[in-house]
Amino acid sequence: MTEPLVNDWAQSGFEVSVAALPHIAPVFRAMQGVEHVVEWSFERKKLELNKRLETARHLRGHFEVCVVCPNSFKTALIPWFARIPERVGYVGELRRWLLTKALPNPYRNHRGSMVGFYKALGPPHTAPTLARANKKSTDERALDVPHLHVEEALIQKAISLHHLIRGEYTVIAPGAEYGPAKRWPIEYFAELGHRVCETGGTVVILGGSADRVVAEQIKIYSEEKAQELTGKIQNLAGETLLSEAIALIAGAKCIVSNDSGLMHIGAALRVPQVAIFGSSSPLHTPPLSAQAKVLWLSLPCAPCFKRICPLGHTNCLKGITVGQVEEAVQSCLTL
């Protein structure tokens, strides 16, 4: 969702470097507007002041502008320590004094498009305010759709490694880091996997190490329904680097996922996809692709943006049936 922002800076004549944590850096390497990607191995929720000072020392004198996408205090410290002349970001965590251009954060009380949120941090002549970024014409908005590029050789290497055939396997991504209120039920994913294999398809389950157990349950439940399906579902959750997962998604027939990072990767790769929303909203973080189908019940209690259903039932997810997802898959494949 930051790619349109990256493109704005690149198209304005800037050479763009991106600093990212190792687990997300491969996404930026697939963005064509990025010249360099630097991996920062900071630990989450830790200040690590000396490490940030050392990092800033290496940046000093090399950059004109730093756009600080996260809203944290500790992230804004580095460009300040590095004495980068222009430091752009949103107000948050008492860090206004660390920025030369501090925009009021519009999402404390309202959740709109995250693409517009990030694009407002672009060069002044392209997106000086969030309002202008969100009031573009349809033609202009088409340029704001994220797009990732993966070399064909990398795709072929990934699918060959796992004995797959390009365009003939379905990716299932059952994870959602934010919490269970964003995750379609395990048994539903298992039934979907079973139906895909029963009709002659194969399934690859992708996700992080935290998704490994859930993914294995999906695999076991699917295969228990029919022994002849054994081996047609591969659980690769926690077994691949993100760069490999991106290549596997790029070579897939389609992807079915919750509202997650892999959902956005599928959209940016233009892979036919079905995105399942529960506690979150497709108005806030939609899959920005013409080949995507969104399933969201929009119940009176949704979106609550909670990690765990406050009502204890997650009907926003349980009410989306396997049949509806199957129909949506067939629909997106014909787009």
Percentage of residues in the chain with pLDDT exceeding 70?
Answer: 91
Burial label, 90 (beta-carbon count in 10 A; 0-12, 13-18, 19+): buried
Quote the pTM value. 0.88
Stretch 210-222: mean pLDDT: 92
pLDDT band at 2 (very low <50, low <70, confident <90, very high): very high
The answer, yes or no, to whether residue 37 has pLDDT greater than 80, is yes
| pLDDT value for 109 | 56
Q: Tell me: the pLDDT tens digits for 225-244?
A: 666 666 799 999 999 999 99
Stretch 191-212: mean pLDDT: 94
| pLDDT value for 124 | 80
| pLDDT value for 132 | 44
In 3D space, the residue among 288, 284, 269, 307 whose CA is nearest the CA of residue 171 turns out to be 269
Stretch 65-87: mean pLDDT: 96
| pLDDT value for 133 | 45
The answer, yes or no, to whether residue 188 has pLDDT greater than 90, is yes
Residues with Cβ < 8 Å from 15, sequence gap 6 or more? 35, 36
| pLDDT value for 142 | 53
| 3-state SS, residue 49 | helix
Give the residues across from 273 on adjacent strands.
Answer: 255, 292
Q: Tell me: the pLDDT tens digits for 246-292?
A: 999 999 999 999 999 999 999 999 999 999 999 999 988 899 999 99
Q: Tell me: the pLDDT tens digits for 127-154?
A: 444 444 455 544 444 557 889 999 999 9
The angle subtended at Cα 265 by Cα 190 and Cα 72, nearest 5°, is 110
Percentage of residues in the chain with pLDDT exceeding 90?
Answer: 79
| pLDDT value for 143 | 53
Q: Tell me: the pLDDT tens digits for 84-115?
A: 999 999 998 899 999 999 999 887 655 677 88
Catalogue all structural domains in the chain, each as residue range(s) with its CATH number: 3-142 (3.40.50.2000), 152-333 (3.40.50.2000)
The answer, yes or no, to whether residue 191 has pLDDT greater than 90, is yes
The angle subtended at Cα 149 by Cα 145 and Cα 155, nearest 5°, is 140
Q: Which two tokens stand for residue 32?
A: 């064509």
Distance CA 68, CA 88 (A): 6
| pLDDT value for 184 | 97
Mark out the alpha helices in the chain (DSSP H runs): 3-11, 25-29, 49-59, 73-81, 114-119, 130-134, 138-142, 152-161, 186-198, 212-224, 242-250, 261-268, 315-318, 322-333
Measured in residues, the chain has a length of 335
The answer, yes or no, to whether residue 76 has pLDDT greater than 60, is yes
| pLDDT value for 144 | 79
Q: Listing from the earlier edge strand, what are the strands of the sheet with 101-103?
A: 65-68, 86-90, 101-103
| Exposure string over 229-246, b if 16+ CB within 10 A, otherwise e | beebbbbbbbbbebbbbb
Stretch 37-63: mean pLDDT: 94
